[in-house]
């Protein structure tokens, strides 16, 4: 007599290794070093007021001053909804897998959102300085580009000192300076003898993900920063495909002069979807950000120069 087929999940489970090989994501922690506007994330936009001109100062005044009204100005940024495409988890998949696929899907949604936030905010901050006359170009040796095709000029100590000089000229506070560089630019930095001899290499990395400190600037590395056109006259907008002639840029900023607002993740789950024979799930988060000052002070772009 043939034996009846055993029923139940234990029999049906397909045994997978439990150390799930997950998707890879870049380091997205850098944007937390900014002014936090999260209390305003439920609105459509955040309005940033700016004080008007400073008053004139007179020594040993002998006549009364003329009163003038200070003309304050403002600029604003929008809060956007970032959403993931729905993921379909079929009933049989959930039944057969012995690893937590549902949790993995939601974890991937969160990481995908964080990556989108970081891609977006890097561009939003970098827009403070756009245009060939408002950026600094790299001046080092010719080496292969990390984006597009051809060669670009490497990162040098001279370039870093030019950024530091501009920050100092703009009266940017010494504490709270940060930078986001690419993997190729990090390799350029590690060829600088002054960097090699500093604590940048030997110092213990901070828990928040930074690489180290040099010239008073805390550095972060990410596989993707922002892309400028070859002349550095404009920046590639979020979601716009780049060109082979584009140039990667490193972003430098002070945490008091950039903004971000991030809401909590909202999970949408539709269980027992008839036509899908399983569940649908997706995530939504409200997010936005910009540079703080209309004059762009506090944000600086070091754009790779093209080379033959």
Tens digits of residue pLDDT in 242-282 = 899 999 999 999 999 999 999 988 999 888 888 888 889 89
Q: How far apart are CA 217 and CA 176, in angstroms?
A: 8
Cα angle, residue 167 at apex, residues 162 and 171 outer, rounded to 5°: 145
Q: Report whether pLDDT(13) > 70.
A: no
Q: What percent of the chain has pLDDT over 90?
A: 48
Greater confidence (24 vs 173) lies with: 173
Greater confidence (217 vs 75) lies with: 217
Report the range of poorest mean pLDDT among 12-21, 54-63, 156-165.
12-21
Pick left, alpha or beta for residue 203 (phi over 0 → left; psi -120 to 50 → alpha; otherwise beta): beta
Question: In this structure, how many other beta carbons lie within 10 angstroms of the beta carbon of residue 202?
Answer: 9
Which of the given ranges, 8-22, 66-80, 85-99, 278-292, has the highest pLDDT on average? 278-292
If 0-12 CB within 10 Å is exposed, 13-18 middle and 19+ buried, where does residue 121 land?
buried
Confidence grade of residue 7 (pLDDT, cut at 50, 70, 90): very low
User: Sign of torsion, CA 185 190 191 197?
Assistant: positive
Q: How far apart are CA 122 and CA 27, in angstroms?
A: 12
Q: Report whether pLDDT(208) > 60.
A: no
Q: How far apart are CA 283 and CA 267, in angstroms?
A: 5
Greater confidence (55 vs 267) lies with: 267
Q: How far apart are CA 304 and CA 301, in angstroms?
A: 10
Give the H or E element holding residue 115.
helix 101-126
Greater confidence (269 vs 170) lies with: 170
* Residue in the block written with tokens 């095709």: 149
Count how many Cα atoms sit within 13 Å of the Cα of residue 183 in the half-sphere of its side chain.
8
Mean pLDDT of the chain: 84
Q: List residues bridging with 89 in a β-sheet.
A: 279
Q: How far apart are CA 299 and CA 34, in angstroms?
A: 12
Averaged pLDDT, 195-220: 72
Averaged pLDDT, 33-55: 84
Confidence grade of residue 1 (pLDDT, cut at 50, 70, 90): very low
């Amino acid at each position: 007599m043939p034996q009846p087929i055993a029923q139940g999940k234990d029999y049906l489970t397909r045994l997978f290794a439990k150390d799930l090989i997950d998707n890879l994501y870049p380091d997205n922690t850098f944007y937390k070093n900014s002014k936090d506007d999260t209390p305003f994330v439920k609105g459509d936009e955040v309005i940033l007021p700016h004080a008007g001109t400073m008053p004139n100062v007179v020594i040993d005044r002998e006549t009364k001053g003329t009163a003038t009204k200070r003309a304050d100005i403002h600029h604003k940024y929008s809060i956007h909804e970032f959403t993931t495409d729905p993921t379909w988890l079929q009933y049989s998949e959930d039944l057969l897998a012995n690893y937590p696929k549902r949790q993995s899907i939601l974890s991937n949604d969160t990481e995908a959102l964080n990556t989108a936030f970081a891609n977006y905010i890097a561009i939003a901050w970098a827009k403070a300085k756009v245009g060939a006359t408002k950026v600094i170009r790299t001046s080092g040796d010719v080496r292969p580009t990390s984006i597009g095709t051809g060669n670009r000029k490497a990162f040098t100590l001279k370039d870093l000192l030019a950024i530091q000089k501009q920050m100092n000229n703009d009266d940017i506070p010494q504490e709270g300076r940060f930078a986001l560089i690419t993997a190729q630019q990090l390799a350029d930095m590690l060829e600088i003898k002054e960097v090699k001899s500093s604590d940048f290499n030997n110092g213990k990395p901070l828990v928040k993900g930074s690489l180290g400190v040099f010239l008073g600037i805390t550095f972060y590395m990410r596989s993707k920063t922002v892309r400028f056109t070859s002349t550095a006259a404009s920046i590639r907008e979020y979601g716009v495909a780049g060109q082979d002639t584009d140039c990667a840029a490193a972003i430098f900023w002070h945490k008091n002069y950039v903004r971000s607002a991030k809401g909590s993740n909202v999970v949408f789950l539709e269980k027992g979807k008839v036509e899908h024979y399983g569940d649908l799930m997706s995530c939504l988060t409200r997010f936005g950000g910009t540079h703080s000052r209309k004059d762009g002070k506090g944000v600086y772009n070091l754009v790779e120069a093209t080379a033959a």
